[in-house]
Amino acid sequence: MTVAMEQTVFELNEHLDVTQVRQLHSDLSALLAEGRPVRFSAARLSRFDTAALQLFASFVRHARAHRLAITWDSPPEALRRAAWLLGLSEAMALSQPSGPTH
């Protein structure tokens, strides 16, 4: 995690699944407490599960309630597609996937 220009950049690991949700929840809670906009750097992310997506959706909801901007840097297409299929794109502040979505 780095802080740049009043924005916290949070580097996501290559894998985010239920085994890391507890630590991820702790990390995201700390980000909320900092009260700065957050940019998720997701270029390395290649594997994730629904538990991680639900946690991100919850985090974004809380961040918005605190008027904190959330952005994504290089979210993989698979992440955007999974969020869209689960109806979580808006909740996670992710753009919709490109190409066919069926």
Spell out the domain ranges in the chain: 2-85
pTM over 0.75: yes
pLDDT for 3: 55
Mean per-residue pLDDT, 33-57: 96
Nearest residue to 69 (alpha-carbon basis) of 81, 79, 77, 59: 59
pLDDT for 102: 54
Beta partners for residue 9, in sequence order: 2, 39
Coil, helix or strand for 16?
A: strand
Beta partners for residue 7, in sequence order: 4
Q: How confident is the model at residue 97 (pLDDT cuts 50, 70, 90)?
A: confident
The whole-angstrom separation of Cα 50 and Cα 53 is: 5
Q: Which CATH number among 3.40.50.970, 2.40.110.10, 3.40.50.2000, 3.30.750.24 corresponds to the domain 2-85?
A: 3.30.750.24
